[in-house]
Structure 1
Amino acid sequence: MIKEAVAKSINDQINKEYYSSYLYLSMSAFFESEGLKGFANWMRIQAKEEADHADKFFDYLNDRGGRVMLRAIDQVPTEFGSVLEVFEQVLEHEEFVTESVNNMMDIAIKENDHATKSFLQWFVDEQVEEEATVGDIINNLKLIKGDGQGILMMDRELGARSYVKAE
């Protein structure tokens, strides 16, 4: 049976992952409305990945004999600024998620829960990758300085991203 503090942190994270999914879906809708289908595609896939993460936490908590307690998801923003500003928001949000995952790991360590530590390591590694990917996109956006042709080239590049379900 999973310890109460660990189960609570996992339930909190499930809510954060679903919020992340809604946030990226909202960003996708924004990009669609701006005619940036490639950026919309990237965000739509990101939204699916965050929902996959929530599912992983959901299944893990059930597998460990805990009880999933779903809560309301806070309202996500629906208006955004420039493409660069959107991705800066994404990086800020991913840093928040990284901090949350690290706090969960701290709880698992404190509770001497080796199974949860092992499970969480995948998310620790995933967050490093998430922040690096978004950082690269931000660097490219800064290089093109809002130039229309550069934005269109990036839109095509991000449109090529395909969804791969998290294992």
Structure 2
Amino acid sequence: MTTTTTAQVLSDLPQRSVAEPMDAGILEQLQQHLHLETQASYHYWELSGRFASRELRGFASFLQNESDSEREHAGRFIDYLNDRGASFRLGSQTPFQGDASSVVAVFEAVFGMERDVTSSLQQIHRLAEEAGDTRTAVFLEPLIEDQITSEGNAAHLLGRLRIAAGNPAALLLIDQELGEGHDAPHRLAGDSDS
């Protein structure tokens, strides 16, 4: 009796039809970015658990939401690569190696991760435009917009934490606000109905 593995079954299936093959350099950048998204999700999930263990539920909730968001972005990349007939790979994840000695230090690392993800998206978008890959450029545009907002929110939170440094009451107030979903800076432009 012979056994067939899942890999063998999948390798026997025909490839998806695609309208435009993807440039190998762009594909590699998309793969690297997928790893950034999954790594950020993993780190945020880990940090969420650390904050939960310190009774800072607002910070834990905020970081869990960020983890979910990064994982959702990774899912969009996997879907896009599948739609383009390209394979994807998920790299192994490493534990958070940043400075976790204070809330400020953790959020400096969070801001750094958000900044790196934004930079990666912008770099891939630039490559896609240079290669004339409109499909990839259009796919990335709403992700870049979302990411710029996330980076701005992380910068806002880091700024507030720096102001509150060393003040437990201020830290608990920020934790409470995060628990209530208040993590974005005040905007002067916006919906006049709110």
Q: Scaled by the length of structure 2, what TM-score is found? A: 0.78
Find the aligned partners of 2:125 and 2:80 in 1 and give their Cα distance.
15
Query: C-alpha deviations, 1:79-123, integer Å up to 9, x for none?
Result: 712111111111111111111111111221221100110111112
Name the counterpart of 2:5.
none
Q: How far did residue 142 of structure 1 move?
A: 2.0
* CA contact 1:26–1:77 (8 Å) conserved in 2: no
Q: Quick one: which amino acid aligns to residue 134 of structure 2?
A: H
Aligned to 2:81: 61
Cα distance in 1, alignment partners of residues 104 and 132 from structure 2: 42
1:40 match: 60
* Alignment correspondent of 2:157: 137
Tell me, which stretches of 5 or more residues in structure 1 are unaligned? 163-167
Check the 8 A contact 1:94/1:131 in 2, yes or no. yes
Distance 2:94 2:121 in 1: 19
Per-residue Cα deviation, 1:31-81 (whole angstroms, up to 9, x for no partner):
112111110110011000000000000001101111112222233338712
| Bigger mean CA deviation after superposition, 135-144 or 33-42 | 135-144
* Higher Cα Rg, which structure: 2
Distance 1:26 1:75 in 2: 8
- RMSD, matched Cα: 1.7
Which residue of structure 2 aligns with residue 86 of structure 1?
A: 106
Contact 2:104 2:162 in 1 (8 A): yes
Higher relative contact order, structure no. (Cα contacts within 8 Å, ≥ 6 residues apart): 1
More displaced 10-residue stretch of structure 1: 134-143 or 150-159 = 134-143
Give unpaired runs (5+ residues) of structure 2.
1-20, 183-194
Letter of the structure 2 residue corresponding to residue 156 of structure 1: Q
Q: What's the secondary structure of 2:101's corresponding residue?
A: coil
Q: Distance in 1 between matches of 2:34 and 2:24?
A: 15
Aligned with 2:136 (options 116, 120, 134): 116
**TM-score normalised according to structure 1 size:** 0.90
Match of 1:70, SS state, is coil
Q: Is the 8 A contact 1:88 1:138 kept in 2?
A: yes
Q: Stretches of 4+ moved more than 6 A in 1?
A: none
Structure with higher helix content: 1
Verify the 8 A CA contact 1:26 1:76 in the aligned structure 2.
yes
